[in-house]
Amino acid sequence: MGKKKKIFVLAGMVALLVITGVLNIVLNRASEPDYVGGAVQRNYFEMTRADKLANRQETLMFLQALIEQGGEGRAAAEAQKLAITSAMSIETTLEGQIRALGHQEVLVSASGHFITVILRSNDLTDIQVAQIVRVITSNTDRTPSNIRIMEIE
């Protein structure tokens, strides 16, 4: 197997690691108790944001190492690093604009052709959903069919 293929395989494995970390948090959220009162309440949004940031930093460090190493995989690593930083910028922008609509706890994930919005709510109205979709479509090239909105109580 050529060096270029090895780099693509390794980069793919890192991407899967990031996805696995996010899924682990989402799926295990139900099994973690929230302590109210005298104990500390665990905040899903803070934990997920911190884990997402840590996973991305790891991935960016790995890609930077590949870039510094040079060789055939350098261009692919640079492209993937650019894609990750672009997604981070889009997510930050969208989170801020959705917060401005009145949703204080928001997570946005931009991956591939999809954008997923997770927010604390249990009764979004059609108007609120339309506002969120309008924010996303006006800031990205995504269509409404590529937008997922999930509510967490």
The answer to whether residues 74 and 52 touch, using CB atoms and an 8 Å cutoff, is no
| Tokens at 101, concatenated | 């609509």
The pLDDT of residue 126: 94
- With bands split at pLDDT 50, 70 and 90, how would you rate the model's confidence at 153? confident
Domain coordinates in residue numbering, the chain: 3-152
CATH annotation of 3-152: 1.10.287.4300
Q: How far apart are CA 148 and CA 114, in angstroms?
A: 8
The pLDDT of residue 15: 72
CB neighbours of 52 closer than 8 A, spacing ≥ 6? 21, 22, 107, 109
pLDDT, tens only, 29-41 = 655 555 544 334 4
* Whether pLDDT at 140 is above 70: yes
Supply the mean pLDDT for the chain. 83
The pLDDT of residue 70: 81
